[in-house]
Amino acid sequence: MQSSLAWIPLFSLLLCDQAAPQLLDPSCSRTRAEDRIMYGDDASKSDAIYMAAIYNRTHFQCGGTLINRRYVLTAAHCLESRYVLFVHLGAHNRAEPTAWYDVSFGVQHISYNPINKQNDIGLIKLKRRVEYNGRIRPICIYLDKAIKSQVAMVKTFDAFGWGLNEHGQQSDILQTITLNQLNREECRWLGETLSSTQICAGVPGADTCRGDSGGPLSKKIEINKQTFVAQFGIISYGSLTCDSMAVYTDVTSFVDWIQETISRFDDPPEIPPNFQRVPTAPPSVVEKLWLYDDCGGDGENMSSIVQLTIYGPGFKAQGVLITDQFVITVARDLPENAASL
């Protein structure tokens, strides 16, 4: 991440008062109003609690964010390789993580386009549940779709990552930069026309850079007098020189996809050992389930009773008697004229 020195003020997006915030994980990151970064590029340790450093077996690959106890949000292009992945959490210094996790699998958005980076969003499922503590906690994903219409009103965002700095070196310490939201048309010179599911942001002489991909574009939002750190974007792509503007996936456009994907791959609830999965039905009910009432016999030497051999000209196959008139077998190689059998 390449940046210039700047004072980063606290600015909160005010939402309508609600009885309870609609958050993906209610335990997500909250902050105090006085938290801020002064005259520097290093992020505070409190900003690292929701950051995920994604590695393959040999090197650092991408950034991401912890969004609940089993899932990390990142860019789809970070999941293009088929390497085995690992995730470091609680890593203000990415070489000194609080915990690391094996990855079960990654999911790219089904409509992800690697050419123009449309729908550049993905999820990583961890093999075990994350234990929250003072150094590890999820970022807030706000589920109310009304927030989508307010994204354009946000003037600045905070971006985080361990990407290349102004010296062309990978940073060990988590870096941050405040970016101005720009009109999507201003990002057209990067080569692609942006859609409504993308955000254009940047500042002169500074930008996110290689290695920052998958990291968050975040903002502090205030709900019912509580301040939450909410994720609005995912670092997607920018210029080769990393010194002007870049494109970010708009997370608020994909909250349905995030919820549906988590639901589809989430673990089933644990069932107590003494739980009876199928209630015992009365015999009169069970009997009606069988195709043929007088089936099964006494259960002894069944193979010799129901297993049959089917013969025909140049043909021989095995079958099973299922009623007094029908035998079930495979269709492969059966002659067209059944009368020859």
Lowest-confidence range among 112-121, 131-140, 282-291?
A: 282-291
Which residue type occupies 159?
Answer: A
Q: What are the tokens at 22?
A: 């609609």
User: Which of 149-158, 217-226, 300-309, 320-329 shows the highest mean pLDDT?
Assistant: 149-158
E-assigned strand segments in 39-145: 51-55, 60-66, 71-74, 86-89, 99-108, 122-126
The most confident of the ranges 75-84, 143-152, 276-285 is 75-84
81: confidence class by pLDDT, cuts 50, 70, 90: confident
Q: Give the list of residues 6+ apart from residue 311 with CB closer than 8 angstroms, or none.
A: 341
Q: What's the average model confidence in pLDDT over 316-339?
A: 73
Token pair, residue 31, equals 């902050």
* Average pLDDT of the residues in 262-290: 60
Q: Which of 3, 29, 41, 77 is catalytic?
A: 77
| Residue 141: pLDDT over 50 | yes
Pairing mode, if any, of strands 327-328 and 60-66? unpaired
Which residues fall within 8 angstroms of residue 92, CB to CB, at 6 or more apart? 43, 45, 47, 48, 173, 174
Residue 8 pLDDT more than 70? Answer: no
DSSP SS3 for 155: coil
Instruction: Find the catalytic residue in 3, 29, 171, 213.
Output: 213
Whole-Å CA distances, 57 to 85, 87, 103, 173: 7, 11, 12, 21
Q: Give the tens place of pLDDT for each residue, 25-48.
A: 887 866 543 333 222 366 677 778
Q: How confident is the model at residue 327 (pLDDT cuts 50, 70, 90)?
A: confident
Least confident residue range of 150-154, 182-186, 195-199, 315-319: 315-319
The sign one gets for the Cα dihedral 120, 199, 179, 189 is positive
Q: Out of 3.30.565.10, 2.40.10.10, 1.10.3720.10, 3.40.50.300, select the CATH number for domain 41-265.
A: 2.40.10.10
- Please tell me whether residue 156 adopts helix, strand or coil conformation: strand
Give the pLDDT score at 11. 41
Task: Give dist(CA 50, CA 214) in Å, integer.
Answer: 13
The whole-number average pLDDT for the span 306-320 is 72
* Rounded-to-integer distance, Cα 195 and Cα 64, Å: 22
Examine the residue annotation and report whether 41 is marked as an active-site residue of this protein. no
Of the candidates 29, 47, 109, 120, the residue annotated as catalytic is 120
Query: In 121-134, which positions are buried (b, 16+ CB within 10 angstroms) versus exposed (e)?
Result: bbbbbbeeebebee
Q: Is 77 a catalytic residue?
A: yes
Q: What is the pLDDT of residue 288?
A: 45
All CATH 2.40.10.10 domain ranges in the chain, comma separated? 41-265
Let me know if 104 is a catalytic residue: no
Question: Please, which residues bridge with residue 87 across strands?
Answer: 54, 101
Residues 6+ apart with CB under 8 A from 277: 271
CB burial of 206-240 (b: ≥16 within 10 Å; e: otherwise) equals bbbbebbbbbbbbbbbebeeebbbbbbbbbbbbbe
Written as six digits, the tokens of 119 are 């729908």
